[in-house]
Chains A and B, each alone.
Chain A
Amino acid sequence: MTNANCDRETGADALRREWLGLLARAAPGALGERMDAARAALGDLPPHRWLRTPETGSVMLRGRTGGTGAPFNLGEMTVTRCTLALDDGTVGHAMVPGRDKAHAEHVALADALLQRDGSRDAMQAAVLDPLAAEEEAAAHAVAAKAAATKVDFFTMVRGEDE
């Protein structure tokens, strides 16, 4: 989702970028469970209407060698995006990897609810914190598995000088 109309990134934008990334990276099933938990915490979720129904397409990923070289096209990625508005006009965006439309809807709904003062704290506790913990645990698990296969190379004295 482009954010080009924001000339400079404010603290709120950085925070929103972070939670949109966390929600998009989450496994669709895990996010669905978290949204059920949010529903339990908030009572019924407010009604929403579509501004852009979930649609699947591809985006070109661009990279820079070493982060500083000339940009090049790395490859295409399948994404699903959608936009919705809550009954009070709060707009939530989503762009998630893959073609899971329910995942996109959950992310957009969570994005809108996280922007509202009345629901932010409950969403933070029910959705963002557990997902962040799961993501960190998964990263640790991968790092631990990799660490277990680490090999220390050393050279023994070969005694050729004798």
Chain B
Amino acid sequence: MSEAVSLYEGGFADPAPAAAAAFRGALEALARPGRIERFRDCRPPVGMSPGAGALLLCLADADTPVWLPEGAEDVAAWVLFHAGAPRAVRREDAAFAAGPWEALMPMDAWPVGTADYPDRSTTLIVELGALEGGPPLLLSGPGINGSVTASPDLPEGAVATLAGNRARFPLGVDLYLTAGEAVMGLPRSTRVETG
């Protein structure tokens, strides 16, 4: 029966300090796009990275439905128990969405906020293979002094998609790119070009 209880396990071993540290990391990541933050404290469920797990534990709650790809029932049950966040069935209901890049596309399907409430958008948590070693990108915008180079392992065509997201500013979605414990913030305000 150890299978049956596994969804109840993991998470933060010492919730209060770990959640505070993760929240700080989540803020830093969006404030300094392109810089890599590390989230070491979270034991995630099978099929989710420690970085994505820590982000959901400190950001998601009962008022923020989390969208997950099909087949992620175990992850959804884990998120429900540990964060109390329900699973969003429709993309337009999602406050957060976590999954690989392909599963989260097309970008247009997510709420981008409204002119009066640009915060009513989805925050995407994109699970990648690595945040280094991919095609080099040149990032600029708020939080970046001049420009900075990042090389997350994004698929082809991602730069155009991200540029489209930037073009809608102040509307648009914010992204966290995760790979293992590493997390990189890519808010809608960041300009992304091929480096």
Q: Is the CB of A2 within 8 A of B80?
A: yes
Out of B8, B80, B84, B87, name the residue touching A51 (CB < 8 Å).
Answer: B8
Interface of chain B residues 1 through 57 with chain A (CB within 8 A): 1-2, 4-5, 8-9
A5 within 8 A of B: yes
Q: Is the CB of B80 within 8 A of A88?
A: no
Q: Is the CB of B86 within 8 A of A91?
A: no
Q: Is the CB of B62 within 8 A of A91?
A: no
A83 within 8 A of B: yes
Please give, as numbers and ranges, the residues of chain B lying within 8 Å of A75 by CB-CB distance: none
Please give, as numbers and ranges, the residues of chain B lying within 8 Å of A85 by CB-CB distance: 5, 8
Query: If A2-B62, A4-B86 touch, does A91 touch B8 (CB 8 Å cutoff)?
Result: yes
Please give, as numbers and ranges, the residues of chain B lying within 8 Å of A2 by CB-CB distance: 62, 80, 84, 86
Interface of chain B residues 39 through 88 with chain A (CB within 8 A): 62, 76-77, 80-81, 84, 86-87
Distance in angstroms between the alpha carbons of A91 and B80 in the assembled complex: 15
The main secondary structure of chain A at its interface with chain B is: loop
Q: How far is the CB of A149 from chain B (nearest CB, A)?
A: 42
Closest to B63 in A: A60
Q: Is the CB of A88 within 8 A of B1?
A: yes
Q: Is the CB of A51 within 8 A of B9?
A: yes
Closest to B2 in A: A89
Q: How far is the CB of A51 from chain B (nearest CB, A)?
A: 4
User: Shortest 10 CB-CB distances between A and B: which pairs?
Assistant: A89-B1, A51-B8, A4-B86, A85-B5, A89-B4, A89-B5, A5-B80, A5-B77, A88-B1, A91-B5
Given contacts A85-B8, A89-B1, A89-B4, 9 further A-B contacts (CB under 8 A): A2-B84, A4-B86, A4-B87, A5-B80, A51-B9, A52-B8, A89-B5, A91-B5, A91-B8
